[in-house]
Amino acid sequence: MQTSGLGWDQKLREFVRGHPRWVGAGFLSLGAAFDYWFLLRPIRQAEAGAQEIAIDMHGVTLGICLPLFGLALVALGPKLVRDPSAELGRSRTASIVVGLILAAIGIAVYFWLKHYLESHGYGFS
């Protein structure tokens, strides 16, 4: 039983709806950090001849998805986070399709990175 009225998930949704551009800027910043750590850093390590390099599919995928979500929030702001209850069927379907496309792009970038590193002599199990 919650005494504060709203659950944390509802409070989070309200915060995002109230500050979409700030949340988008946060996603852009976090995405840039993921891009550096999980995408650019392994490439630089390979170019420097590091003995071992670790890559992570989740990190690469988030490095692709977070900046794109952030850019959409910054660019579209309140239009993107309006209450979709009136058009729930269409909004939900579109969100699922966009999410799947972004996930597929992130996974494709991961496999490209893996191929790039393997072509430089690094092996992955």
Average pLDDT of the residues of the chain? 86
Q: Is the pLDDT of residue 3 over 50?
A: no
pLDDT confidence of residue 73: 87
**Phi and psi, residue 58, nearest 5°:** -65, -40
Cα angle 43-46-50, degrees, rounded to a multiple of 5? 135
pLDDT confidence of residue 79: 79
Each residue's pLDDT tens digit, 27-80:
999 999 999 999 999 999 999 999 999 999 999 999 999 999 899 889 888 877
From residue 79, alpha-carbon distances to 73, 86, 92, 102, 123 in Å are 9, 14, 15, 20, 45
pTM: 0.76
pLDDT confidence of residue 95: 76
Cα angle 104-38-100, degrees, rounded to a multiple of 5? 15
Domain locations in the chain?
8-119
Residue 98 structure tokens:
């966009």
27: closest CA among 67, 60, 58? 67
